[in-house]
Homo-oligomer: A and B are copies of this chain.
Amino acid sequence: MLNYYLASMYEQLEKSIREKVKISAEEFELCKTFFIPKKLRKKQTLLLEGDVCTYNAFIEKGILRSYATDEKGNEHVIQFAFEGWWISDLASFLQGSNSTHTIEAIEDSELLLLTYTAREDLMSKLPVFETYQRILLQNAFIAFQSRVNAALNSSAEEKYLKLTSAYPDIIARVPQHMIASFLGLTPETLSRVRKQISLRR
């Protein structure tokens, strides 16, 4: 039982790394020792706006979001992160600056945390982990580029359809007003968009 539990604890992480680089069983065992497991209940936060982001979090289970709050008190969802993804406020994590984001669990979630020094250590002891991190960043960069493009050049409906066709289960797992915020729409506009779509069926 214990073994099973431990194996499942790092299952997504191993999968994520092996998708991107070659790593031996021993290397992965070493790798695991740098992470701190952590559970979050729904609505609990990993990072509060204003604090320094001390962890890079890998998500074994659940969904998190990061959001920023503007002068008028409106929350703007920056990112959703599902199983197998990473989340953090990179600017704060890397530069040690105060975070402008809050990171919060949307469902009960299981995380693997990596501190700044653990990450530096791991990259220097295991160069393949630096390569893994670089590839992650490359992919994130590409994804962001297409998101910027969608944000600037697509209508509300196009943005919603692109998001839901890329991530179909987001509809069931994430409240609609958070999806609206992620797309830069008011909840009312998203509701109207959905109505339009359903009328056309």
Contacts and interface: CB of A to CB of B under 8 A. Distances in A.
Contact of A134 (B68, B133, B151): B133
B94 A149 contact: no
A23 interface: no
Interface in A88-132: 90-91, 94, 127, 130-131
A169 interface: no
Contacts of A149: 68, 76, 78
Interface string A67-87: 010100010101000000000
Contacts of A197: none
B90 A152 contact: no
Q: Which of A68, A131, A153, A183 has the most CB of B within 10 A?
A: A153
A57 to B, nearest CB: 16
A52 to B, nearest CB: 15
Given A78-B149, A144-B145, A148-B148, 9 more contacts: A70-B153, A90-B141, A91-B145, A130-B131, A130-B134, A137-B138, A137-B141, A144-B144, A151-B184
A6 interface: no
A142 interface: yes
Nearest to A182: B152
Interface in A12-41: none
